[in-house]
Structure 1
């Protein structure tokens, strides 16, 4: 894919400018002099002007007519490459300015810098060829220089700090440390260039470490890692990233999978959750193709599931398809709850969960954080007071049995396959034995919080939530679970209030928060021991 001529020209000029600056930088560290430093410092604006021209050319090309996703990716990452080249120019100048402040040049140890600076200069020579050839291997080689720069930084940092203990010239050594830090940041800029080149090669924005994690996961599976296609699917609120991976197995057959990586503890929980579902209810969770750990992060390669999310079915498919998806979901849940039912009582602790999340709610919606008030002389307690009282009441109404639940039962964690009329689950890191009301309340509110204001669609959303309530209520009656409705009031209050931290629309968030408060008021108004008599106005709660 061809770059705009202005972007290509100015990027080439920028690389040539950097080559000259790196040559002058190397010359300075071979023979430090004020004249040598000025050769770099006086060219402060030229690299920045060249980056500005590359950026302008890329932005102009993006706004002209229809631009494909792959072309937008190319233009965005070429701009990123140019920005990192400009940053390298700034770091070179700053390193020399700090070096000039070192009065005793021997304390700087300039000869030690030449090897690492030559590596940086050589890496820059590979940028244009790697871009023109969309060569992933050359891109990786550029990024790997960061590890060498980091090793150099660690060695020199120990040297300078040791020298500080043995000399009075701490000011010179402090300036030497500033020089060292600018050189260390050159490694970060090279990695930024590498990530941009890799992103162009793969067809999706990717981080350097994430790319290696993906390769590592692929090598541990029965798939090849050539001709790799990576597309973003989602980013979770816990920081994990999820992508679809298309590649071929060693027999040459096409394989679609899902790549998920993130904090090791979260990914380990996901793996454990998937394994537990395979043991408890086979066929519901996707297969794990490979798992790898790297330091504090980990990654999974998971079977790609046919179909689409329940949210997609709700918002985009016809009535017949949605009805079929609902029927499959209700049947699957009833079967899971029946087959996994345990006589152990379960405490949902919805109010404790909500208390822990209220700080995050108030950060997004500080207007909800109000104290007690009086309306027509009637005291309205603060929300925190309601929470405290409801938490005490909740301890008296544990579920009479446990079932195995999803644990994060949002619309987009349920997959419906219309060809087989089958439900599958994803994102299973919170699965455990628990009160089934946990999943019921989360699913119902994940419907309501959809920020779609079209009247007929809102009615459809409400009907979907009501449908799950009817199914769960039937299950509760069959199991003589008399406090189902009371626990649901608390679960819905928890989900309505806590979900507002993901809703920026002030009016929609306010409607949700008021529903949470209403439910708490309603539950607390029930006399002790009469919890089984509560009946929720579900239709009104989920209508607008």
Structure 2
């Protein structure tokens, strides 16, 4: 990775002074615990303002540099990382003073077992001495060693904690041991500060904020795929389930430049994504990206996936030309129809749209409590609440399965569809919910993912509506060919679910209100249809999608 431009002098100078000051403080701290004396404790306390002022100067200079107009993203991340380093160096200073303060409160010094603090504090001092070299050389291996100190300090904590608790059972002087435990806690937190410094340096080096464990997961998943050299990450997305998605730039074993996507998070979610990709590659080859590598570690896991060329459908809808959008739509409709025809099985499918919605209404109400009123009386007539309508619609839906199943995406939002204009191909991503199901599930999700785009100008809203209704028209033709007589009724329930449940992601109250009103209107007109007459139901799709 090329070296970044030189930092402003106030940053480099004050960082050097801060590291030197902290080394002196740590030296005194080691001296104190080697032989606790009030005079040494007083010297440490008197240095409080020095480290705090130097750290403040570094942070102030970093902030000033970040506010300059010509600061690019890489430099901004570097300045942000250095500010984090300075903040945690100051924290190390404060933790040391707090440890001494607690130790000084103990009346019986022997109970402290103060000498046992010397090895971990010596480790802290040696680790801090590596920080300047790690920053100057953008050395990720050295940064990792800085973070690994936390594990060694944690082992020290566990051993001494057991000793103190054993001593508590054997002596009446528990107050002194309580102060000893508090001192132990402050020293243990030094490991956390060192790990935060490690993460800051690693983030500078790879171009994206990264947690210590995530860096190891990334290195592990890249093993055997790329050369053992520094890598570069570019943030792509943060899923609602907590998974992080990044673009990875690396070189393979032959030195060729390779682009991939790194996704990590909860093991269950990542495993579902892996299973989904594998399923698509067996059911409909060429649609899903190839999995390059997979690793699991405890409750987390990571995937390295083929990078797909092209743009998301959302980007095309919002920023593409009319001609580009038309080509993308044709490719999407052609691909979706072919998937449905290829994967169709005679097994009936229950979408369960209302059951899905009922489970999500707590989250909707939590974000928009004023928009989901209960039963109301209007001019003496009782109007049921949305919960009652959902319950009634669920009973109707239970008797209306789709007459067949197809393999669906399961989370068919605009940003999960990629179109490659050069190859003229559609590709799918984020496939952890893929399964055999009612195709109406994907249709309704896709349509509402258009509507919920928070764009206000009339021309773009009209374009969004056109994309949504075009998908519905294509699906309606497919339904007629397959003699699916209740398609429109099930679509209504699917749209009601998607309109209402999507508001848990929409902060704008006016937009959320429009979506909830549409959900309620759809349920009202669907429930007004006499039982047994669902096949005659006509849904006013164009009215629903035009504001």
Aligned mates of 2:18, 2:367 — CA distance in 1: 42
CA contact (8 A) 2:140 2:230 kept: no
Could you tell me whether the CA contact under 8 Å between 1:405 and 1:439 is conserved in 2? Answer: yes
Per-residue deviation, 1:293: 0.8
On the 8 A contact 1:149/1:184 being kept in 2, the answer is: yes
Give distance in 1, aligned partners of 2:524 and 2:168: 65
Question: Distance between the aligned counterparts of 1:363 and 1:37, measured in 2?
Answer: 51
Q: Which residue of 1 aligns with 2:330?
A: 327
Q: After superposition, what is the alpha-carbon deviation per residue over 1:398-439, rounded to whole angstroms, capped at 9, x for unaligned?
A: 111111111111111001000011000001111111111111
CA distance, structure 2, for counterparts of residue 466 and residue 180 of structure 1: 64
* 1:54-453 equivalent positions in 2, closer than 5 A: 54-219=58-223, 221-453=224-456
Q: Which digits, 9 at most, give the CA deviation of each residue in 1:111-135, with x for residues without a partner?
A: 1111111111111111111111111
Task: Give 1:42 shift.
Answer: 2.8
Q: For residues 473 and 38 of structure 1, what CA distance do their matches in structure 2 show?
A: 81
- Equivalent position SS for 2:410: coil
| Residue in structure 2 matching 1:481, options 468, 472, 484 | 484
More displaced stretch, 320-329 vs 376-385: 376-385
What secondary structure does 1:151 align onto? Answer: helix
Question: TM-score, normalization: structure 2?
Answer: 0.97
Q: Supply the distance in 2 between the matched residues of 1:107 and 1:139 (Cα, whole angstroms).
A: 36
User: 2:392 is paired with a residue of what secondary structure?
Assistant: helix
1:10–1:535 Cα change, 3 Å: same
Any unmatched runs of 5+ in structure 2? none
* Contact map agreement 2:205 2:232 (CA 8 A) in 1: no
The aligned residue for residue 491 of structure 1 is 494
After TM superposition, give the deviation of residue 167 of structure 1 in Å: 2.4
- Matched length: 543
Answer whether contact 2:406 2:438 (CA < 8 A) is retained: yes
Question: 1: distance between equivalents of 2:428 and 2:479?
Answer: 23
| More off after superposition, 40-49 vs 310-319 | 40-49
Which segment is superposed worse, 179-188 or 361-370?
361-370
Q: 1:163: how far off?
A: 2.0
| In 2, Cα distance between equivalents of 1:223 and 1:7 | 35
Indicate the larger mover: 51-60 or 421-430.
51-60
SS at structure 1 position matched to 2:492: helix
1:521 to 511, 520, 524: 524
CA distance in 2 between counterparts of 1:276 and 1:540 reads 37
Distance in 1 between residues matched to 2:179 and 2:483, nearest whole Å: 75
- Contact 1:354 1:498 (C-alpha < 8 Å) held by counterparts: yes
Distance 1:244 1:532, change over 3 A: same
1:512-533 deviations in Å (ceiling 9; x for gaps): 1111111111211111111111
**Distance in 1, Cα, partners of 2:498 & 2:107:** 63
Distance 2:109 2:336 in 1: 74
Distance 1:28 1:537 in 2: 79
Q: TM-score, normalised by structure 1?
A: 0.98
Map of 1:454 onto structure 2 = 457
Query: Would you say the 8 A contact 1:225–1:247 is kept in 2?
Result: no
CA distance in 1, matches of 2:46, 2:537: 78
The CA distance in 2 between the partners of 1:164 and 1:372, in whole Å, is 61
1:58-100 CA distance string (max 9 Å, x none): 1111112221111111111111111111111121111111112
1:485 alignment partner, SS class? helix
Match of 1:95, SS state, is: helix
1:110 and 1:166 map into 2 onto residues whose CA distance is: 19
Query: SS of the residue aligned with 1:465?
Result: helix
Report the Cα distance in structure 1 between the residues aligned to 2:160 and 2:536, rounded to whole angstroms.
73
Instruction: Report the Cα offset of residue 227 of structure 1.
Output: 4.0
Secondary structure, aligned partner of 2:96: helix
| C-alpha distance after superposition, 1:169-209 (max 9, x if no partner) | 22222222211111111111101101111111112221111
Instruction: Give me the CA root mean square deviation.
Output: 1.2
Shift of 1:281: 0.6
User: C-alpha distance in 2, partners of 1:487/1:124?
Assistant: 63
CA distances 1:456-477 after superposition (whole Å, capped 9, x unpaired): 1111100000010001111111
Aligned to 2:535: 532
Which segment is superposed worse, 128-137 or 303-312?
A: 128-137
